[in-house]
Amino acid sequence: MSVRVVLAVVLLAGLCGCAPPRPRVVALPPLPAPSPLIDPYTACLKDLRDSRVAFEPVGEYETGGSCGIANPVRVSAAPVDWNKPGVMSCEMARTVARFEAEVVQPLALRHFGQRVVRLNHMGTYDCRTQRTTKAATAGRISEHSKGQALDLGGFGLADGTVVSVKKDWRGAGQKSEFLQAVAQASCQTFNVVLTPNHDRLHQDHLHLDIGPHRLCGY
Ligand SMILES: [Zn+2]
């Protein structure tokens, strides 16, 4: 725009007394509501807290080779006390908590009329291959190496009674019936369940895992 034209515009504006156009007020769209989506790990930690699991998040858990845990936590109760803490993936801890609430406690009430107050496990994370008597799976990395497995040795009941896979799995009686019922129902919660019926390497515990394979060895 030339100087002459600008001058003319200014003069005209002055002559007619026109006020400069007022800026239009445009309402901004409302800010979007915070997304209800949170990342899966944060959601998992929240679920553990909501389930009254006693745990602490663990930093990186890589021990080389094919071993390591995604989103590791160290659990000491889920929510009944464990005989010792165990490191596992958050997803596995969440599954064990669900197992306790939906399988163990209802069956304990049904068989003994009382609750389980202690879970005795024999190991969680362990960087190793599978313990198996079958050549087809020999050398395969164990789900323990990924923090996706727990070896369950037994339970303690509210009145002090101890139920042990090693001592009570076989034979008749309340304890055996309870353990068999727990193992059978575990197949609904875990992907792999191995019991003393599976092979001689599982005589004293139930192996429970959430790995990619599916085997109910009850
Ligand atoms: Zn195991």
Read out DSSP for 31-54? PPPPPS---HHHHHHHHHHHTT-E
Q: Which H or E run includes 6?
A: helix 3-16
Distance of CA 218 from the midpoint of ligand 1 (Å): 14
Q: What are phi and psi of 188, to 5 degrees?
A: -80, -20
In a domain, 29, yes or no: no
Residues 57-61 have a mean pLDDT of 85
Domain count, the chain: 1
Look at the block and give the residue holding tokens 């409302």.
30
Whether 121 has a pLDDT exceeding 60, the answer reads yes
Give 32's pLDDT tier (boundaries 50, 70, 90).
Answer: low
In a domain, 202, yes or no: yes
Distance of CA 9 from the midpoint of ligand 1 (Å): 88
Q: Which H or E run includes 191?
A: none
Summarised one tens digit per residue, pLDDT across range 189-216 is 999 999 999 888 889 999 999 999 999 9
Give 37's pLDDT tier (boundaries 50, 70, 90).
Answer: confident
β-partners of residue 121 are 152
In a domain, 103, yes or no: yes
| Residue of 196 and 60 predicted with greater confidence | 196
Alpha helices in 65-202 (DSSP H): 90-99, 105-112, 165-168, 174-186
Summarised one tens digit per residue, pLDDT across range 127-153 is 887 777 776 666 778 899 999 999 999
Residues 67-94 have a mean pLDDT of 96
In a domain, 8, yes or no: no
Query: What confidence score (pLDDT) does residue 136 get?
Result: 67
Give 50's pLDDT tier (boundaries 50, 70, 90).
Answer: very high
In a domain, 9, yes or no: no
Distance of CA 96 from the midpoint of ligand 1 (Å): 14
In a domain, 149, yes or no: yes
In a domain, 10, yes or no: no
Distance of CA 68 from the midpoint of ligand 1 (Å): 16
Distance of CA 152 from the midpoint of ligand 1 (Å): 8
126, two tokens? 């362990």
Percentage above 90 pLDDT, the chain: 66
Distance of CA 142 from the midpoint of ligand 1 (Å): 8
The torsion angle over the Cα atoms of residues 206, 59, 85 and 92, rounded to 10 degrees, is -30
94, two tokens? 């969440």
Distance of CA 137 from the midpoint of ligand 1 (Å): 14
| Closest to 202 measured CA to CA, from 150, 139, 128 | 150
CATH of the domain at 121: 3.30.1380
Distance of CA 108 from the midpoint of ligand 1 (Å): 23
Whether 74 has a pLDDT exceeding 80, the answer reads yes
Query: What confidence score (pLDDT) does residue 10 get?
Result: 46
Its domain, for residue 212, covers 38-217
Distance from C-alpha of 53 to C-alpha of 47, rounded to nearest angstrom: 9
Distance of CA 176 from the midpoint of ligand 1 (Å): 20
In a domain, 161, yes or no: yes
Whether 26 has a pLDDT exceeding 90, the answer reads no
Distance from C-alpha of 128 to C-alpha of 88, rounded to nearest angstrom: 14
Indicate yes or no: pTM above 0.85: no
Residues 8-28 have a mean pLDDT of 55
Distance of CA 206 from the midpoint of ligand 1 (Å): 7
Whether 13 has a pLDDT exceeding 70, the answer reads no
Q: Are the CB atoms for 177 and 164 separated by under 8 Å?
A: no
Distance of CA 211 from the midpoint of ligand 1 (Å): 11
Distance of CA 48 from the midpoint of ligand 1 (Å): 22
